[in-house]
Amino acid sequence: MKTKRLVSLLLSAAALLIFSLPVAAVSSVSTVQASSQTSQVSSSADTKKSSSSGNSDIVKPRHIFSYSVNQWDDALLGEEYYYKTDNAYLRDEAEIFFGNNDALLKKLEKDVQQTADEIGMNVAIFLGGLRGRNDSLTEKFAAYGSERLFGTKWDDNSIFLYLDFEESASAYDYIDTYHDAKLYYTDDKSGVVSRVEDLLDALYDYLPSSGKSIHYNKIYQAIEAYLKQLKKIHEKGPQFDSCYYNQEKGCYRWMCYGRVIDCSFSPYRGMWLFFLIAVGIGLTVGFAGAASIRKKYKFRESASAAVYTSKNRCRITNQQDIFLREHTTKTKIESSSGGHGGGHSHHGGGSHGGGGRHR
SS3 state of residue 214:
strand
Q: What percent of the chain has pLDDT over 90?
A: 36
pLDDT the model gives residue 122? 98
User: What is the secondary structure of 120-151 as a DSSP string?
Assistant: TSEEEEEEE-BTT--HHHHHHHHHHHHHHHH-
| Beta carbons of 250 and 95 less than 8 angstroms apart | no
| Beta carbons of 231 and 255 less than 8 angstroms apart | no
Range of the domain at 133: 71-238+350-358
| Beta carbons of 351 and 246 less than 8 angstroms apart | yes
pLDDT level of residue 255 (50, 70, 90 thresholds): low
In a domain, 149, yes or no: yes
Our count of domains for the chain comes to 1
Closest Cα to residue 208, out of 218, 196, 217, 200?
A: 218
pLDDT digits (tens, 9 = 90+) for 33-83: 434 443 333 333 333 333 334 568 899 988 877 776 578 888 898 767 799
In a domain, 164, yes or no: yes
Among 39-48, 148-157, 276-285, name the most confident range: 148-157
**CA 329/CA 299 separation, integer angstroms:** 50
pLDDT the model gives residue 77? 86
pLDDT the model gives residue 216? 95
What average pLDDT does range 307-335 have in this prediction? 62
What average pLDDT does range 118-135 have in this prediction? 93
Among 5-14, 15-24, 217-226, name the most confident range: 217-226
pLDDT the model gives residue 43? 35
pLDDT digits (tens, 9 = 90+) for 282-319: 778 887 777 777 666 665 556 566 666 666 666 666 66
CB atoms within 10 A of CB 113: 17
pLDDT the model gives residue 342? 40
pLDDT the model gives residue 3? 53
SS3 state of residue 89:
strand
Mean pLDDT of the chain: 74
Residue 115: which residues within 8 A CB-CB, separation 6 or more?
Answer: 88, 123, 227, 230, 231
pLDDT the model gives residue 293? 75
In a domain, 150, yes or no: yes
pLDDT the model gives residue 242? 66
What average pLDDT does range 214-219 have in this prediction? 96
Strand ranges of the sheet holding 243-246, from the earlier edge strand across to the other edge: 243-246, 251-256, 259-263
- Encode burial over 167-204: b for 16+ CB neighbours within 10 A, e otherwise: eeeebbbbbbbbbbbbbbbbbeeeeeeebbeebbebbb
**CA 130/CA 260 separation, integer angstroms:** 39
| Beta carbons of 90 and 125 less than 8 angstroms apart | yes
In a domain, 292, yes or no: no
In a domain, 281, yes or no: no
pLDDT level of residue 135 (50, 70, 90 thresholds): very high
Of 72-81, 86-95, 220-229, 278-287, least confident by mean pLDDT is: 278-287
pLDDT greater at residue 337 or residue 296 = 296
Alpha helices, DSSP H only, in the chain? 2-53, 71-77, 102-119, 135-150, 181-184, 195-204, 216-236, 267-297
Q: CATH code at 122?
A: 3.10.310.50
In a domain, 14, yes or no: no
* Number of residues that make up the chain: 359
> What's the predicted TM-score (pTM) here?
0.62
pLDDT the model gives residue 280? 73
In a domain, 10, yes or no: no
pLDDT the model gives residue 51? 34
pLDDT digits (tens, 9 = 90+) for 189-212: 555 568 999 999 999 999 999 989
* N-to-C CA span, the chain: 104
**CA 90/CA 82 separation, integer angstroms:** 6
pLDDT greater at residue 164 or residue 194 = 164
In a domain, 78, yes or no: yes
